[in-house]
Structure 1
């Protein structure tokens, strides 16, 4: 009886641990910026809305892929952000809010030529400058290539 209990306990712990490793770690803006104080990594921000079917498809397909999860968890800080969020964001003493239905942080980071498209995927450098702005649906293959190329170029630039 004890052995059976111990076996199931170990099995359930292993299953829970493996599930955590298979999950995409997603941070708030505040958390990502705090983590950068300890370890500088690029930040990937995924801007989405509740009504965007392509956003939903990326959440369901692209960001559930094990290779993408591993790449994002190991090499980046990932932020999934609802562009219409009402929650204020405080970074370095500055507060960003939703003024007109679209959050200020979305307007700052995802705007291209005065327009915001959804989904938008932004890569911020470890120095928090905008390095990439992609305003379309990204398949697993597309985002993998973008992230790997970005990391390769970052490594080349820093050496």
Structure 2
């Protein structure tokens, strides 16, 4: 009987090792759906594989137990900007890493550009959480800059004019 108790004790710790908590990362589409269903805010990490600060955050910042704990009430999304240029463009990402925080409606509440160590990341999460709790300020904030539509039209017209020039 004592053997069974010891075996159960060992199995319990084998199934739930200490410090095993980690952040669940979603794809963009899955995360945005989960945010809507669960009514939770979002953190989007825009990264590139070749970006050394991005790699450093992946290895040192995100596994930190304080960061994992602070992110527990956020939907965490990773966007590889080399594969998802559409999302990179939507959020006007120019530098890596860029961390964007959204409210449950998908409106941006804050953003940080550049490397964050664990302490700085915890600070950014707390800053975003505070912004999320400020009533009315962020409800009408647009997801994208009003200029983004104009920039898209200019890009299309530039591409069309290039085609016209190259066909002459």
Under TM normalisation by the shorter chain, which class is it? Answer: 0.7 to 0.9
Q: Contact 1:46/1:120 (CA < 8 Å) preserved in 2? A: yes
Match of residue 77 from structure 1: 75
Match of 1:41 in 2: 40
Pair 1:61 & 2:60 matched: yes
Correspondence 1:154 to 2:152: no
Q: Is the 8 A contact 1:119 1:135 kept in 2?
A: yes
Counterpart pick for 1:138 among 103, 108, 116 = 116
Q: 2-side partners of 1:121 and 1:150: how far apart?
A: 11
Residues 5-154 of structure 1 correspond to what in structure 2 (within 5 A)? 7-18=6-17, 22-73=21-72, 75-85=73-83, 98=84, 103-111=85-93, 116-154=94-132
SS of residue paired to 2:134: helix
Q: Which runs of 5+ in 2 are unaligned?
A: 137-168
- More relative contact order, 1 or 2 (CA 8 Å, 6+ apart): 1
Kindly state the Cα deviation for residue 119 of structure 1 after the two structures are TM-superposed.
0.8
**Could you say what the CA RMSD is over the residues aligned between the two structures, in angstroms?**
2.2
Rate the CA distance shift 1:33–1:9 in 2: closer, same or farther, 3 A. same
- Quick one: distance in 2 between partners of 1:16 and 1:83? 35
- Partner of 1:133, secondary structure, is strand
With the length of structure 2 as denominator, give the TM-score of the two structures. 0.70
